[in-house]
Structure 1
Amino acid sequence: MKHIKIHHLLAAGAIAVVTLLPSCKKYLDQQPITANDPAKVFNDVPGAYSALIGAYSRLMGDNGYGIRISLYFTVDNDEMQGPTGNGNDNDRRDIARYQCTPGNAQITNPFLQLFNGIENANMCIDYIPKMELYTNGTDQQKKQLQRMYGEALTLRAQFYFEAIRNWGDLPAHFTAAQNQALQDPFPTRTSSDSLYDRLLEDLKTAEDLVPWVNDLGAIGDSKDERITKGTVKGLRARIALFRGGYALRPASKTMERSTDYLKYYQIARDETYDIIQSGQHSLNPSFKSLWKDQVCAHAVSDPNNELLFQASASGSGSAEDSKLGYYNGPRVNGKGNSSINPLPTYFYLFDSMDLRRDVTIAPYFVAADGITKIGQAITAINDGKYRRDWVTNPSFDPNDAIQYLSLKWQLLRYADVLLMFAEAENEISNGPTANAYNALNWVRRRGFGKNINTVNAAVDVPAGLSKTDFFKYIVRERALELGGEGIRKFDLIRWNLLATALTETKANLLTMSTNTAIANPSYMAGYPAYCLTTILPKNMYYQTTATGDDHTIWANSYYNTAPSSTPAGTTKVNWLTAAINTTGLARFATGFTVNKSELLPIPQPAIDANKNLVQNPGY
């Protein structure tokens, strides 16, 4: 029977534990081994650790954050849109355009991998506390096993959170599959509220088991990319905001939030405040260095501990590596897909002095020499945080056809913690407090390259804002800071602003294509005043020998009328022209339907395997 096959697939992942390759330094460099007897695996600290790494490994690969969950499921939104090409492909384009059907093959394996990750975590959660060493080992052994137990609870929460925000209500799997199959082989869907409540309880337990990042030495663990207390608290805050936010409810088939939502905003506020007060995490002074010299440089050390939760990649293959920087980002010597395109409306949301624009958006491809830049039309610019031309340690020759670059997907950063705190503080205090202003302005000042502790009237948000207006600044700042990190679509859903954002973005894209001034959005703080004009350039001219990785490749300004003739030593590309309509808008969120598209359809194989699963509204 088909449901037995599904359980077998889940269980197969549960008994696939891993050992570390002795020659590798990164904690997720690994190879799988098979262990059929959990009692043998969970017999000592190294065995438990190997099982835990098996759970970690389910974060990555083609069916995890290596490409599909991170880059297929997160667009279209008011920042980015998905790949060019004909729609109705029953593939990745249909997902981006909100035309996905239950039979779309690109959603089945990610759905399965998330539950595979849940199962791997369940095995650790079930067995680690029962180990003899958990209660009777040395003090170090007990603390290391306690940490692993907390990590497993956190990983399960992350896998479940990702599944819920994409598919809504789901079956409850909080025990190993071998037990689940006996107790309830055809589970019905449990409300997302109930699942979130369980995850919040689990994370409350986990945060007392997992040390802060700077306290790892006390239990004999080294600092690496594993989960620490800041991760647990940050994830708990994020889940609390989703629990307190809007969601598509199957009973009413409408977007609703619970009446006690402030309870969950309080949890988010308290958890983020604890992280801030701990002094364990801070902002890297340079936004560009964070991405170029940390993420794209495969750095393990993070001196500021800004990268709270990373999905690590390794292996140069589809199982546990990533195509970040190949599927997205600028092409190098014609290699890559450049399948994530920032919208022209998003490009002009940035202040001209905001350094984050030229990190988040890469307006070029790279020539065969690996250095010279080729400027792109505004409809073909790329997201920029994961760039092959920034990749080092190791770097790759421009002629190398490699697709797996082992870049880590960033699940949670300290900047997000600060913005979550500001949002929650504003909500529960019925307006922004001094602490909320500080948290928001720290993020903004870093984005402009300023000292985060120095008041800067040119950068800081205006004082004296109402609750509503401060929230609009939060909505905008989260776009500017977290663009291209897979967060925006789901933020807009939990705020019940996705439909509004898509509608207003479409209107402004059409306006841009006719050389008419765009309008400020109703749902967030507006554009810089100099972007609300008709003097923006119709063409841009890139210098044919340019080697920079930012706006310096251009000979003219983004904000003034373009020269009437091509300057010497440059090449012209289209900028604000009708192509924004015919190339961009024509494929942007074309199938979005209110009270349907906020969720993906449950994959048809899952429906076929479980007679008690019902489909999401509208599918």
Structure 2
Amino acid sequence: MQSFKYLLFMAALLFFAAGCKKSLDESVYDFYSPNNLYKTPADAEAAVTGLYGHLHSWDFYKSPALFSEDVDHDHIVGPLWNMGGVGAGNYTGSFVINGLWHGYYYLISQVNTIMDKVPAIKIEPDSTRNRILGEAYFFRGWSYFNLVRLWGAVPIRLENPTNGSRDMGRSSVEEVYQQAINDLQEAEKLLPPKGGSFTGAVGKVTKGTAKAMLAKVYLTMASGALSGAQLSVRGGADNALYTYTKDVVKGHEQMDSKTLFAKARDKALEVMQSKEYDLMPTFMGIWGRANKNNKEFLWELQTMDNNDYGTLLQNYYSAPWYGGNSYYWMSANLYNSYSDTDARSSDGIFHQYFMYGAWMFYPERDSLKYQQAPGGYTAKFYKEYSHPFTKKYWIGTDTEIGANGTTVRTGNRDCNVPLLRYADVLLMFAEAENEAEGGPTSRAYDALNAVRQRSKETVAKGLSQQAFRSLVFDERGKEFYQEANRRFDLVRWGVYLQVMNKLATVENVIKTRENKNLLYPIPQDELNANKLLKENNPGW
């Protein structure tokens, strides 16, 4: 871990030493001065480590990736002052939407420079060179995967402009997916396995990360292309189970859904059979400062307890008094969908917290369980202020907190960002196996039930293909709440509009959406600068 932090520090020093000014304009392509700094193995290492470092910027996990991908779905709510923008479907001109676009293309431009300069550097052994290039391929594939999911058809840049012009038209949705696949396949070939001699510092992506991300790409394409299937999703004002006939996602019409489901299944199975990863024994054992980089994580963004490399996850998501500032919380619908024994709600939620001079508890129906607060105080249920805040991002405090309402330090903290977990691999396998085989197999049940039983849920059995599909979808919502997965799952399954509009308005947050909300708008400055991007996404 210390070596990775050192590399981040060195990457930052080289960045500023090169005199490179970060700009929202995509025309700034050089992370380092290629002629001066791409000469030694240390330069190459610093350059690829800079890709990880950029995820800490205001293009990504300082805010945009949290205020966009993870606020625009059915399972999250918050105060009106915070949910009136992207949280209400208002994307135009949003700094978080614009930041993500520029952030992904900025990563791509740095990868293109690495691809151009690193092969000429003498690096021994070859395994180290391969790992550096593998990391670069991974980041470019991951960037295009996210770009196509969020914006649809976009330009594919595999080389940086040399003549000052960066005019480039869109490639089709299929072509962008294929580029993501090509890059991730190269990453899979070049990256070492977890724990290998040349893996690099803690927090680096590995062969298993590339395999799992490939599985996610195939699964996204497959579910988007599936025609006529039905999916049952809990929601609406009454939190009932509603069955929808899914839409085919635009741009996926010509894709072979069954073949892609089989590819997703097989790639996830390779990760499972590697035995490099496993579920943590308990759900809460995944989280917290002491549990960083455990066996369940295939990829998490490394952090430090400072403003440069800390995150705001605790500040945004945790309960008041526990470092949170009431930015977001789990919807009551989602909370009420958990069984009483499910550890993800019984252990994974703050049931008591101090706010506005009083102890509060959640949920109201469990008053006998949660009214007795620390220090002999009595907690109360306030309809306006009692909410289910997640414990996932509570990292604790370095000093003991008294029971009199003393607040803990907020702001950027040493809280890693979960980017890919083994639970996701298991649920991807279960979903893909069910679709590829025409119904659930024993292997699909084993994968699904491993996740369910870890959280003390009942064993699933005897389900139809449609019922199993719906249960896996439901399980993903419960397992990955506030990990930036839900919107992607709703969109790829072609039920985003149906689910959101069935909710309409929930807890005073507007959830109604239009067709235009299926994709983000391209930033206006990009449209102005790139003459071959002739129009924005539909409706924008």
| TM-score category, normalised to shorter length | 0.7 to 0.9
Alignment map for 1:130-529 (pairs within 5 Å):
130-133=120-123, 137=124, 141-175=125-159, 177-179=160-162, 185-214=166-195, 216-217=196-197, 219=198, 221=199, 224-246=202-224, 257-291=253-287, 296-297=288-289, 299-302=291-294, 305-314=295-304, 316-317=306-307, 320-332=309-321, 336-366=324-354, 372=374, 377=382, 380-388=386-394, 390-391=395-396, 399=407, 401-448=409-456, 459-463=458-462, 465-506=463-504
Cα distance in 2, alignment partners of residues 156 and 396 from structure 1: 44
Cα deviation, 1:399-458, whole Å, max 9, x if unaligned, reads 56541113111111000000001111111111111111110011111111xxxxxxxxx7
> Within 2, Cα distance between the matches of 1:376 and 1:222?
49
Structure 1 unaligned residues grouped into runs of 5+: 1-19, 449-457, 507-580
| Partner Cα distance (1:611, 1:376) in 2 | 56
Match of 1:586 among 478, 498, 508: 508
Q: Which residue is equivalent to 2:229?
A: none
Give the direction of change, closer, same or farther, for the CA distance of 1:396–1:171 in structure 2 (3 Å limit). farther
| 2:320/2:326 contact within 8 Å kept | yes
How many residue pairs were aligned? 480
TM-aligned CA deviation for residue 185 of structure 1 = 1.9
Matched, 1:48 2:54: no
SS in 1 for 2:299: strand
Aligned mates of 1:425, 1:394 — CA distance in 2: 48
CA 1:605–1:386: 2 relative to 1, 3 Å? farther
Between 201-210 and 92-101, the greater mean CA deviation after superposition: 92-101
**Cα shift at 1:338:** 1.7
Distance (whole Å) between structure 1 residues aligned to residue 432 and residue 249 of structure 2: 27
SS at match of 1:439: helix
Please point out which of 504, 510, 517 is paired with 1:597.
517
> How many angstroms apart in 2 are the aligned matches of 1:257 and 1:378?
46
The 1:123/1:320 distance shift into structure 2, 3 A limit, reads farther
The question of whether the paired residues in 2 share the 8 Å contact of 1:493 and 1:598 is answered with: yes
Tell me, yes or no, if the aligned pair for 2:222 and 2:261 is still in contact at 8 Å: yes
Counterparts of 2:469 and 2:55 in 1: how far apart (Å)? 32
Structure 1 residues 191 and 243, CA gap change in structure 2 (3 angstroms): same
Q: 1:278 to 1:369 in 2, by over 3 A?
A: farther
The alpha-carbon distance between structure 1 residues 44 and 609, as it changes in their structure 2 partners (threshold 3 A), is same
Q: Which amino acid aligns with 2:194?
A: V
* C-alpha distance after superposition, 1:559-595 (max 9, x if no partner): xxxxxxxxxxxxxxxxxxxxxx7xx4432314x11x2
Q: Distance in 1 between matches of 2:383 and 2:7?
A: 40
Following superposition, the deviation at residue 245 of structure 1 comes to 3.4
1:366 to 1:472, Cα distance in 2 relative to 1, 3 A: same
CA distance in 1, matches of 2:252, 2:214: 21
> Which consecutive unaligned segments of at least 5 residues does structure 2 have?
19-31, 226-247, 360-372
3-state DSSP class of the match of 1:244? helix
Given the superposition, is the C-alpha separation of residues 259 and 235 from structure 1 closer, same or farther in structure 2, using an over 3 Å criterion? closer
Identity %: 26
Letter of the structure 2 residue corresponding to residue 460 of structure 1: V
Classify the secondary structure of the residue corresponding to 1:310.
Answer: strand
Deviations 1:42-76 (A, max 9, x none): 33322111000111112223330232212433223
Say if 1:285 and 1:446, in contact at 8 Å, map to a contact too. yes
Corresponding residue number in structure 1 for 2:237: none
Give the conservation status (yes or no) of the 8 Å contact 2:69–2:487: no
8 Å CA contact 1:245–1:494 kept in 2: the answer is yes
Mapped to 1, the partners of 2:466 and 2:529 lie a distance apart of 46
Counterpart-to-counterpart distance in 2, 1:266 and 1:394: 51
Deviations 1:243-298 (A, max 9, x none): 22328xxxx9958543412232222111100000111110000111111xxxx216
In the alignment, the residues of structure 1 paired with residue 166 and residue 401 of structure 2 have an alpha-carbon distance, to the nearest angstrom, of 48
Note the aligned Cα RMSD (angstroms): 3.0
> Within 1, Cα distance between the matches of 2:383 and 2:158?
47
In structure 2, what is the Cα distance between the partners aligned to 1:40 and 1:316?
A: 30
Of structures 1 and 2, the larger Rg is shown by: 1
Q: Distance in 2 between matches of 1:376 and 1:116?
A: 47
Question: Is the 8 Å Cα contact of residues 62 and 323 (structure 1) preserved in structure 2?
Answer: no
Distance 2:205 2:72 in 1: 30
Deviation at 1:164, TM superposition (A): 2.3
Asked if 2 retains the 8 angstrom alpha-carbon contact of 1:360 and 1:484, the reply is: no
- In the aligned structure 2, how far is the partner of 1:482 from the partner of 1:314? 23
Give, in angstroms, the shift of residue 320 of structure 1: 4.4
Normalised by the length of structure 1, the TM-score is: 0.71
